Structure formats: C-alpha cells, structure tokens
Amino acid sequence: MIEDAYTLGASLGLAVWCEDEAGPFQAVPHPGLSWRPEGDPARQPHEYVRGGTAKVLTLFRPADGHVRVEGTTTCPNTVLHPWLKRELAAVLAELPALPPTADTSRAAWERWQTGLTMPITLPAELPPLRVLLVLDNLAGHKTPGLVLWLLAHGVMPLFTPLGGSWLNMAESIQRVLRRRALDGQHPASPDEIIARFGSVARHRNAAPTPLVWGGKRAARRKRQRERWHAAGGSGAWTRQPIRRRYGHGRGK
C-alpha cells in the first residue's frame, strides 16, 4: 500500500508526504569528518557536560525533495499535532485548485485501506482526496482528533506496519540532515542543534534532490532474485537449477 503511494500517487493526482520525528540529539561532540587547520586536530572536552537534547519534526515530499522541519526540546501531542496541522494546511494551500471533475467518491479513499486488518472508520461526509501522508505506527499519530482533522482536509494517513518504519522515506532525509548538521560538530545547546537543522534544511531546499522509491538498485535485486532457484522448497536458494531425477523406484 505504501509502495503504491510512492509509485502511483502522482499518477492519481495525489501529493505524497512523509512525516517523522527525529532525535533526540544531544548537545555533545558528534563523531564525523570535519575541516581542521593543519596541526590543529579536533579535541574532545575532558569532562562530560549534559547540554540538553533536541528533536526535529520533519515533513518531507519525496517527489520534489522539499523538506519542512521544526526543532523542539519536547515532542508531546500538544506540540506535534498543532505543527503538523499548520504545515499541512500550508501544503494544501500550495496545491493547484481542484477541477470541477475532481474525484469525490468514497472509493478513492477506501482504495488506500485495501487489505488492512484494522482500517480507519471513514466519516460519512468526505472531501476530495488530495494528499497521502505516510506516518509511523505510533499511538500519538492515531488520536481521533488528529485523524478526523486529516480526513476533513483531504489527507489520507498511511501508517507503516510494525517493524516497517523503513517504509517511511522521511527517515531517509533525516539521516542526510543529521549528517550535514552534526557530523564532526560540538553543539553547545539544544538551540544550536535546532538552528543547525534549520540551516541545513533551508540550504537543501534551495536545490532539492527528489527521492524515488526502489530505483535502479531495487531493479537489480529483483532481476537477481528472478535468476535464483528454490532448493527443495526450503528457504535456501541456488544460482543454478537443480536437476531432478525422475523414474527411481518406479521400476524404470
């Protein structure tokens, strides 16, 4: 379902966004490469100082590579939900106006719940579907108030399965931002961490790089799997087909 959102969402006229919360990131020295003058290597402080932590709320659109971030020192629902509603309202305002022939059918929504063991109970009145939002399978993402707000604004939440957070491409962009913001650095406070992430996100948005689900590497893996052969119906595989000998024990 989530893979379909990445690969088919645009062809159906839907914007696909991913949301995740990164962190906490500590205000301590972070390992990594950094530029230093010759003869002046990076030094670590001789005592451990707890400088606090920060988290980064992330909203990412893989199709064009744009990312929206917000730094915070705590991330309860009272912080996450207002930020997410505010950012999604801005995203919806930037979308093209709906044509008179826009699909307002219930089937357009129910398509994204096919096969789910616990589908969302859709309200009787639904607006045209405009955005698919990929989120992790957390209780805070499933509160009735947030889900009803999303549905009322034409946003269909798609929750990753348990153990399937790797399906959320917001995690991919968070790793890129973290490396650029913190590798080889020693932020002194949560505010400095938040400022670094904001600066990196603005710089990236100036020339964003889209992310494509699967890509050439996935195609190579698929071709490789097609060339393998199952061995005896087990979990083992072989690159060469195993010759089967027929006729033994049948008097031939």
User: Residue 100 domain-assigned?
Assistant: yes
d(CA 17, CA 133): 5
Q: What is the pLDDT at residue 143?
A: 92
Q: What is the pLDDT at residue 218?
A: 63
Q: What is the pLDDT at residue 28?
A: 82
Nearest to 197 by CA among 55, 17, 16: 55
User: Residue 221 domain-assigned?
Assistant: no
Largest CA distance in the chain: 84
pTM attached to this predicted model: 0.78
Contact 167, 160 (CB under 8 A): yes
Q: What is the pLDDT at residue 32?
A: 75
User: Residue 223 domain-assigned?
Assistant: no
Q: What is the pLDDT at residue 118?
A: 82
Q: What is the pLDDT at residue 251?
A: 47
Residue 93 structural domain: 2-206
For residue 24, say if its preceding peptide bond is cis, omega within 30 degrees of 0.
Answer: yes
DSSP assignment, residue 61? E
Contact 52, 190 (CB under 8 A): yes
User: For the chain, which residues score pLDDT lower than 50?
Assistant: 251-252
Strand partners, 156: 132
Q: Please count the structural domains in the chain.
A: 1
Q: Which residues contact 123 (CB under 8 A, 6 or more apart)?
A: 148, 151, 152
Backbone angles phi, psi at 69, to 5 degrees: -130, 155
Q: What is the pLDDT at residue 163?
A: 80
User: 202, exposed or middle or buried, with CB in 10 Å at 0-12, 13-18, 19+?
Assistant: exposed
User: Residue 166 domain-assigned?
Assistant: yes
Return the CATH number at 64: 3.30.420.10
Contact 73, 181 (CB under 8 A): no
Q: What is the pLDDT at residue 85?
A: 95
Contact 134, 18 (CB under 8 A): yes
Q: What is the pLDDT at residue 33?
A: 73
Tell me the CA distances in angstroms from 165 to 51, 60, 162, 222, one per residue in order: 29, 15, 7, 22
- Enclosing H/E stretch for 133: strand 131-135
Q: Which residues contact 130 (CB under 8 A, 6 or more apart)?
A: 14, 15, 92, 95, 98, 154, 155
